[in-house]
Amino acid sequence: MSTPDKQLLVVVGAGPHNATRARDALDLVLTSAAFEIGVGILFRDDAVYQLLPQQQADAIDAKSLAANLQALPLYDVEQLYAPRSALEARGLDPDNLLLPVQLLDDNATAALLHSYGQILSF
């Protein structure tokens, strides 16, 4: 595993089907994990919509991200975070999400960003 200063936090702000940003971010996460870089994800803003279960991507001719997202634990990517405010603002139920994310208040989000050596935003 990479040293603390090389731990990577991928910050995603895009919804699941907002162009390719969500997939670009996820691809980087999976690649980094394969390189044994310690990697976490912060789902912020509309990216929390990626966490909604039972999406039917095929209805808009899109590819589902769900299978890739659910594979994250298999890649030892377990540092998953979302600001509680992003869920509340969109009326999403934190008890009914695709992945076990840690919900953070604003101070904790700031502390999280501070704790990672490298941050890449999508």
Instruction: List residues binding other proteins (CB under 8 A).
Output: 2, 6, 8, 20-21, 24, 27-28, 31-32, 34-35, 37, 118, 120-122
- 48-81 exposure pattern, b = at least 16 Cβ within 10 A, e = fewer: bbbbbeebeeeeeeeeebbebbeebeeeebebbb
- Give whichever of 9 and 97 is closer to other proteins, judged by the CB atom: 9
Shortest Å, Cβ 35 to other proteins: 4
- Give whichever of 25 and 112 is closer to other proteins, judged by the CB atom: 25
Shortest Å, Cβ 30 to other proteins: 9
Nearest residue to 116 (alpha-carbon basis) of 7, 13, 2: 7
Alpha carbon distance 40, 8 (integer Å): 6
Shortest Å, Cβ 7 to other proteins: 10
- Give whichever of 20 and 70 is closer to other proteins, judged by the CB atom: 20
Shortest Å, Cβ 93 to other proteins: 29
Positions of E strands within the chain: 8-12, 39-43, 79-83, 102-104, 118-121
